[in-house]
Structure 1
Amino acid sequence: MNPSVVPAPGAPAVRARDLDVVRSGVTILRGADLDVPAGEHLAVLGPNGAGKTTLLHLLATYRFPTRGSLELLGHRLGRVDVRALRPHIGFVSVALDPLLEDITVLRTVAGSAIGSVAPPAAVLDEPALVTAAHTALERVGVDHLADRRILTLSQGERQRVRIARALASAPALLLLDEPFAGLDLGGREQLVTVLDALLTEPDGPTVVLVTHHLEELPTQLRRVLLLAEGRAVAEGPIEQVLTSAQVSSVFATPLQVVRDADGRWRATGVTDENRRVGRS
């Protein structure tokens, strides 16, 4: 890790101004502004094709904006060596799975501290890396899987290992790209519990989570960005953004948005019948 590239004290985790992303003549992201203070957390919601994954790839430094400015952890893209910045950014995505070898969970997670997706067995001879790996696995509740091989894990177990791998390098910014994809109901609820605990850690990373579904939002998330057709429709406190009107507009479907007593969110379609009930 380049010691000269560290998160700037007091700087926001993310500061974006007027971001455009154009690919093959198609504008994927248009005029996006975003501020995520260090230590706060953000959910990014929107339908397929809204630009969510593109935005996350920008924040992961795997893509650069066509226009506009983007600062991550106090460093502006285009003026910083992203190879030195990336160790401070944890990126969790199933798209990275083909890069992982079928080795033990402990070796996989320990290797993340040296930036390797296929670390040599010798990584387990480094006590500091092994300790960091066990600590990360404990944080997401899967240290008991340390000696299992990656391909023997269920989808839910594998997703928690992906998050542990990102946490092992102690990132300042953690990016979760649709972390609930492929999970069954039990796996989803277990992961929501894990994320809620992570979001309340006083020294934990700033988290940006991308999802399609309100039901997947941890209760500790306080801010939301709604994207549609590459544009930011609304961003701010979750109670102000997740209204039935705004969510219906973004997903182009009549929806009723409800927050349950336990703090979880859900959206259901509005039918002619429940319209009549609502008017009665």
Structure 2
Amino acid sequence: MSTRIHREVLLSAENVDLVRDGRPLLNGIDVQIEQGQHWVLLGANGAGKSTLLSLLGAVAHPTRGTVHVLGHRLGRVDMRELRSHIGHVNPRHVVERPLTVRDIVLTGLTNTPEFAQRWQPTEADRERAEELIAMMGMSERLEARWPVLSQGERGRALIARALMPDPPVLLLDEPATGLDLAAREQLLTALDEMRAQHPSMASILVTHHIEEIPTTTTHAILIRDGVIIAQGSAASVITTERISECFDHPIDILRNGGRYSAQARAPKVGSTA
């Protein structure tokens, strides 16, 4: 008889609808994210991926249904305070001053664009920042300033920033946006390393590109027109049949070495378009 290891539920939604300006954006959402799980949220543009992430990240309230974030029910908790305990990685994060990579990462402790007034990091804070920067493979760029960083370097610096307060959950909204092939691979390697070094942390990564799914991904959600059409273990969800349904197009899914790739299904020989 198998026994299931008990893991704390960090994020959950139960029968959730979200309506804005009379338009339903999410419908009948049920999901549960536990410690140590790493989810990918897949769907076409406009399917509701970022909207669902905003609910689970305590940014938006549901219209109907129940959302719990780190044990707190939305609507009965200070949302701003709750968000301070979640690691958010936004590739569109704005940095107006030419801060160094180390300083960018340190601002994750105050969740501000730059050092807060009358606040200075401790030596322990600086050491942790440097450890996270090393984990992201950026030790040589420690003193590099934001304006001269590549898009990929900025993305890895922002992941280190989000990890500074040691959050129980990390949310990544299309972190590979705008990256070239090498930068994307560096980012995915860094994510796998980060997950290995933080075994109890959970994460959700939003993307619509199969090739951007890290090898350490354990679970997947497919969302279409605001409705979850499949969820569960990554291997059972990221399949040719289900991805084709999600994106409303015949797509063949291949898996090699824990990574996924996709290509449009070739037409049968002799078939007519």
Asked if these proteins are the same fold (TM beyond 0.5), I'd say yes
Matches within 5 A, 1:42-57: 42-57=39-54
For normalisation by structure 2, the TM-score amounts to 0.91
More helix by share: 1
Q: Measured at CA, do residues 36 and 94 of structure 1 come closer, stay the same or move farther in structure 2, by a change above 3 Å?
A: same
Q: Measured at CA, do residues 250 and 219 of structure 1 come closer, stay the same or move farther in structure 2, by a change above 3 Å?
A: same
For normalisation by structure 1, the TM-score amounts to 0.89
1:92-147 alpha-carbon deviations (Å, 9 max, x no partner): 1123x235533122112112112222215975552232122212212211132221
- Which residue in the other structure is 1:108 paired with? 104
Matches within 5 A, 1:1-280: 11-95=8-92, 97-98=93-94, 101-120=97-116, 126-203=122-199, 205-260=201-256, 262-272=257-267, 275-276=268-269
1:160-210 alpha-carbon deviations (Å, 9 max, x no partner): 001010011111110000011000000011111111112223545211000
Q: Which runs of 4+ in 1 moved over 3 A?
A: 120-125
Give the distance between the partners of 1:102 and 1:189, measured in 2 at CA. Answer: 26
1:63-83 alpha-carbon deviations (Å, 9 max, x no partner): 111111111121111122222
Q: Measured at CA, do residues 167 and 204 of structure 1 come closer, stay the same or move farther in structure 2, by a change above 3 Å?
A: farther
CA deviation after TM superposition for structure 1 residue 211, in Å: 0.5
Give the distance between the partners of 1:135 and 1:100, measured in 2 at CA. Answer: 25
Give the distance between the partners of 2:8 and 2:266, measured in 1 at CA. Answer: 46
Three-state SS of the structure 2 residue aligned to 1:101 is: coil
CA contact under 8 A between 1:91 and 1:176: conserved in structure 2? yes
CA contact under 8 A between 2:59 and 2:83: conserved in structure 1? no
Q: Measured at CA, do residues 125 and 221 of structure 1 come closer, stay the same or move farther in structure 2, by a change above 3 Å?
A: closer
Q: Measured at CA, do residues 122 and 204 of structure 1 come closer, stay the same or move farther in structure 2, by a change above 3 Å?
A: farther
Give the distance between the partners of 2:7 and 2:218, measured in 1 at CA. Answer: 20
RMSD over aligned Cα atoms:
1.9
Give the distance between the partners of 2:121 and 2:191, measured in 1 at CA. Answer: 30
Give the distance between the partners of 2:199 and 2:8, measured in 1 at CA. Answer: 16
Give the distance between the partners of 2:121 and 2:239, measured in 1 at CA. Answer: 52
1:4-61 alpha-carbon deviations (Å, 9 max, x no partner): xxxxx95311111011111111111111100111111110000001100111111221
Q: Measured at CA, do residues 139 and 122 of structure 1 come closer, stay the same or move farther in structure 2, by a change above 3 Å?
A: farther
Bigger Cα displacement from structure 2, 62-71 vs 130-139: 130-139
Where does structure 1 lack aligned partners over 5 or more consecutive residues? 1-8
Q: Measured at CA, do residues 204 and 100 of structure 1 come closer, stay the same or move farther in structure 2, by a change above 3 Å?
A: farther
- Which residue in the other structure is 1:4 paired with? none
Q: Measured at CA, do residues 218 and 255 of structure 1 come closer, stay the same or move farther in structure 2, by a change above 3 Å?
A: same
